[in-house]
Structure 1
C-alpha cells in the first residue's frame, strides 16, 4: 500500500485549507507505518518509553473520537484504548494487536470525524465541551488536530528511522 499525500492548494479558502492540511497529516502518519511488520509497529522507540507507531495510531484514533464525536457532536463515545485507570492505555500494547485492526479502527474514526465536521461551519460552536468546560469552534478543533498530528508525525519520523533507517517526510 502506498499512501498518497497532497498538500492543499496554496490559494484555498479556509475550510479546504484546514481540512487539506489535516488530511495531509493523517496520511503522513499512515505513510510512516507502511511496509512494516506488526512486530516493528509495536516496537517502542527508546526504553523506558512505550511510544510506538502502532501506539501512535491507536492514540490518534482516540483523539479523533474525542474531538469530533464527544466534543464536536456531543456524542457519548467512550474511549477506545484508555481509561481513568490507564490514561495512557493506547500506548500499552499487549502484543496481540494487529496493524490491520488498529488501522481499520483509526480510519473508521477519521471517517466519522469527517461526517461530523461536515455538519458544522468553521465558526460553529461544538455541541459538547472541552475538558475545561469551554465550548469551542470547529476551526479550533481542526487547528488543534493539525498540531496534534504534526507533533506526533515528528515522533513517527524518529521511530521509523530507528526501525529501518527510513527518513523523509
Structure 2
C-alpha cells in the first residue's frame, strides 16, 4: 500500500521476505517493529514526512489500508484481545474488526520523545480506517516508554489473533 500526500510519502507491505522499517522516527520504528513482531507478520515500511504528527497519523491510515487489503474478503476471527505486562506497566487492548470507534484510556507524561498525542493519532487513524472498534486501557504504568511499547505489544497480539482466517463469518447478522 502506498500513500502519498503533500505531507507524507508512506509505503507499507505485509508479508515481505523480512521486516524492514524506515520511518525516519526512531521511536516509531521501534513501535512498528514491536507491533508486527507480536502480530507475527513481516513488513516493509518506508516513510518520508514533514511533521511527526503527520507521520504517525498517516502511517496509521496506511497500515490500516494494508491490513484491510491483506484480510480482503476472507473470513477472519474478527476479535482479538491481549493484556500484557511490561515492567511496571499493564495494558489491555481489545478489538473488533467492524466499526470505527476508539476508547483510549491511557495517561502518561511525555518523556524522551514518547508522546501520548502521537500514540493516540496512530491508533485513531488505524481504528477509523480499518474500521476497528478499539479499546486501549492502561491499568498501571509510569514510564512513557514502557507504556507506549506495551500498547503496541498488546495491539500486535490482539490484531494477530483477529486477522487469522476463520471457517465462517463471525456475525449473527450475516455481514460485518
TM class by smaller structure: 0.3 to 0.5
* Larger relative helix fraction: 1
The structure with the largest alpha-carbon Rg is: 1
Q: TM-score, normalised by structure 1?
A: 0.35
* Larger relative strand fraction: 2
Q: TM-score, normalised by structure 2?
A: 0.34
